[in-house]
Each structure stands twice: as C-alpha cells, then as structure tokens.
Amino acid sequence: MKDFITLAQLTPGELQGLLDLAVALKMKQKRGQGEPLLKDKVLGMVFQKPSLRTRVSFDMAMLQLGGHALYLSPNEIQLGRRESTGDVARVLSRYVDAIMARVFAHQDVVDLACYASVPVINGLSDYSHPCQGLTDLLTIYEKRGSLAGARLVYLGDGNNVAASLMFGGALTGMHVVVASPSGYEPPTDVVTRARELAQATGGSITLLDDPHGAARGADVLYTDTWASMGQESEAAERRTVFPPYQINAALLGEATRDVLVMHCLPAHRGEEITDDVMDGPNSVVFDQAENRLHAQKAILVELLGKV
C-alpha cells in the first residue's frame, strides 16, 4: 500500500489487516504499552478545510507513535493557486515522510499522490472519506465482533462518507443500504464500483428512498449532516428535503434492539439526529470519534513503519 486514497483501492485482506492492526495498536495504547513505531517520522498535514477530529487525531497519532505532525493551514498551502499541486507534492516530499491532505476536490489528493515520492493519505475529499470509513468499520467490528452479513443503513445525503461506507461495507461482506431523497443519491460510479467489490465477498449495495423501510432490521443506523462544508448555500433547501431521514425514536424502533447508532460528526442536533438518540444507549458516536485516532495509527504504521 503506497498511498491511502480510497477504500476501493484495497483488497478484502488488506482492509481486514488494517482493522486488526488498529485493534492491536489500540489495545497496546490502553495498556500503556504503546511503541514508538514511527520514531522521528514527520507527517505533513495539508488542510483546505478546517477540522477538529482530523487535525487532533492525526496529531496525536503521530505523537503516540513517536513521530511528529506538521500542520499546514489553508493560507500556507493553496493547492493549484499559489503554486501547482505537483510542485507542492515535490517540495513536501523533500521535507516530510508522508502527506495527509484534507481537500475539497478529490483530484487534488490524486494529484498529490501522483507527484509525491512519499505516501499520501486522503484526510477527506468530495469523493471519499476513507479514514472515516475505516474508523466506522473498526467501531462496528469492535462492538459486534464481525462485519460480514451485518445490515448497515445510511440515511441522508449520498456524499463522500456514504461512498466510503459503501466501499468498506462491500469489501467486508456487509449489506449496505443507502436511503436518500430523490436527487441526493450516491454517484452512479460509486454505486457501480461498490457493487463490483461486493460480488467477491457476498455483500450487497441497495439504494432506497424510504427511510423507515431501509431502517427495518438494521444492525447499524448511520447519518451525517444534511449540508456539508462547502454546501452552505444549499443548507436552507436541504432542511426542507431531509427531515423524513432524521434518526429519531420512531425510526430507531424499526431497527434491531441492539442497533448501533453512528454519526461521523460534527452533528447538527435536532436536524439529522435527535438528542435522545445521539445520547441514548444505542449510540456509539463518541467511541467512533475516538477510533479516528486508532484507525489512522494503523494507516500510518502500514505506510511508514513495521510492527
């Protein structure tokens, strides 16, 4: 694995290996047995979009692994504007051991990987959010003990998070259902690729527009904000379209009794999810947030070090 751009680039075995590595690294850290596996390694972090979880989790991941993280703000790195993405990649490759980029356009992270001579990690793009997807699978794996055969239901905008859940679910033999309003479904190429991946694992990808039908029998209910960063101009319109897809007590009642409720955060409480559900006994939202740290440590160790 040279780069980590999308979960669709992985084989089922590679993905399972990352999950097992994340579990092992987390257990060692909890026992106070963490090792400096990336001693003196430096991660350059390129941010076009601000973030709480991405910034802190990668910072702490490198710290716990004995390395360093270098934050580069939107003002310092203007990909394709101040200088070409290719030149940025070439220059950073002379200074750091790996690059993490949180960008708007997916092509920017693809171009970074093309021109960089060090590993590149997609910290988020408009196409895919593989770090979040790996985190989500890790959380379900911990809570359920397995992934294959589980019914994962995503409700809301068919965005980058939905794409990564579809790719990851397909690779692990899950039955992924995406319920979205008309016009907000996942891109056709994402659905096609996920279904190709699912053929090898016994998983499935289903698109629906009925949130209650989708939630029936769910082992996992997952949602995200209705308007992502960069979609602020659409927020008012989206608030009129998405209310039927809110995860609330009524929708929770359609799922299995021990259903896991997930959200990648930040949450707009009272919109895509209600307080009683997010703070309720089925919620694993903050375990999920913690697991960004451990999942990303596995990515970093796989790319830069040896256990």
Residues designated as active site = 102, 129, 132, 224, 264, 292
For 167-201, the DSSP string reads HHHHHTT-EEEEE--TT-SPPHHHHHHHHHHHTTT
Instruction: Give the pair of three-digit tokens for residue 189.
Output: 């190429």
* Cβ atoms within 10 Å of 49's Cβ, excluding its own: 15
Instruction: Give the pair of three-digit tokens for residue 121.
Output: 């990690």
**Sequence-separated (6 or more) residues with CB below 8 Å from residue 137:** 15, 19, 147, 168, 169, 172
Q: Burial-class residue 275 by CB neighbours within 10 Å (0-12, 13-18, 19+).
A: exposed
Amino acid present at 256:
T
DSSP assigned state of 148: T
For 268-304, the DSSP string reads -BTTTB-HHHHTSTTB-HHHHHHHHHHHHHHHHHHHH
C-alpha distances in Å from residue 78, one per residue of 84, 110, 118, 124, 204: 9, 16, 20, 16, 39
**Sequence-separated (6 or more) residues with CB below 8 Å from residue 233:** none
* Cβ atoms within 10 Å of 181's Cβ, excluding its own: 18
Edge-to-edge strand list for the sheet holding 68-72 = 68-72, 42-47, 98-102, 120-124
